[in-house]
Each structure stands twice: as structure tokens, then as C-alpha cells.
Amino acid sequence: MFVPEVRRFVPIVSIVGDEYCYPYLVDLVVKKTVGLSTKHVCVFDGTGTLLVQVVGGCWQLNKKRTMYNCFGAPIITMRRKAHQEWIVHSGERLDGSNLLYTVHKPQSFQLKRKLEIFLSSPITGEICDFRVIGSYICQSFKVYKGETVVAEVKDNSKLKSLGKGSFQARMYPGIDYAFIVSLLLIFTEIHF
């Protein structure tokens, strides 16, 4: 069994909340299933404990997804604003007062799949706070804060079955796993 090495003085990168950040390396399993009218995504730790789940209608029919903690309380709501842009709010409300971040796909020609993440802050600019760079061959990507990799996600699906998928997500110490899971969902929706 994996025993994490706790590091002291790890900088916490809390986007959604401090409770989703660990001061050690964390490997998570993300499983998604698509039914006739709903899509469910469940996130488990290494012991199989449910951490968060995302519920919503099928991607094409409903442009909104809500992430819940293991007790069923809403954490964040993701909404597609345009085909290449998503906005993420804390809780279930979609008003401007609780905006956490915006995710954009750059419009220029790209050799790799990319997303840019802009945090909600009083200072707006052209420089993104996080970047996602992924592969065209498989559904895998890395999340960067500046030049530092803060998380990696790879597709674990051995056989592509209709409506199901599995991902392995590695969170480096201090990164917010709810934030990374939301980027996984948005990345797969925009690029696949």
C-alpha cells in the first residue's frame, strides 16, 4: 500500500478549497460513465474511498456540471460559455460573485492540445495562471503553473467501451485535486 511522504512547508495551491489539497503526492482514480440522459464521474483515492463526484446531463444536452463532495454538498459548478470556453463557480450558483476561474482553448494553430486557465481576481491580464498541455494520441495531459508541473493525468482505459472511461490522476504536493478533476472534465469535453 502506498504510504505518502509528508513534506513540511509545501506551498498550498488552493483554488477550490484547502480541504482538497494534500502536502504529499496523491494518486487518484477518475471513473466516468455515461447513461442515456446523465453523466457521472466519480473520483476515488488509492484505497477506493469516494472523494468527489460530478453529475450532470449528457454533455451535448446540458452545458452544466456540478461537483459534489462525498457527503453530497455542492463544491463547484462548471458551465460551458462557448464551445472553446468554460466558467467555473463555487457552489451551485452561477452568478458573478462566486466565479473561481475561466478555461479557454487558445485559438491559434497548436501542435499539442492546450488550455489556458485564468483565475478570478481583480487583476486581469493576458497571461494565464495555469496551462494544460495534452497529447493528440491519447487523453493524457500535464497541468503547469508557470514552468512547474503540478499534476499529470493519463487515460487508463484499456479498451474503449461505449460510455465508460477511467483516468489516473497524479497530484503533486499542495495542488487542489478538485481543480484538477474539473480541468480533466473540461479538457475531454473540448478536445474529444
Q: Where are the chain's structural domains?
A: 23-191
Q: Which residue has the cell 494518486?
A: 27
Fold adopted by 23-191: Porin (2.40.160)
Please name every residue paired with 69 in a beta bridge, in sequence order, or none if there are none: 52
Q: Is the pLDDT of residue 21 over 80?
A: yes
Average pLDDT over residues 127-146: 88
User: Which tens digits make up the pLDDT trace of 81-123?
Assistant: 877 889 999 998 877 788 999 999 887 666 788 999 999 865 5
- Is the CB of residue 87 less than 8 Å from the CB of residue 102? yes
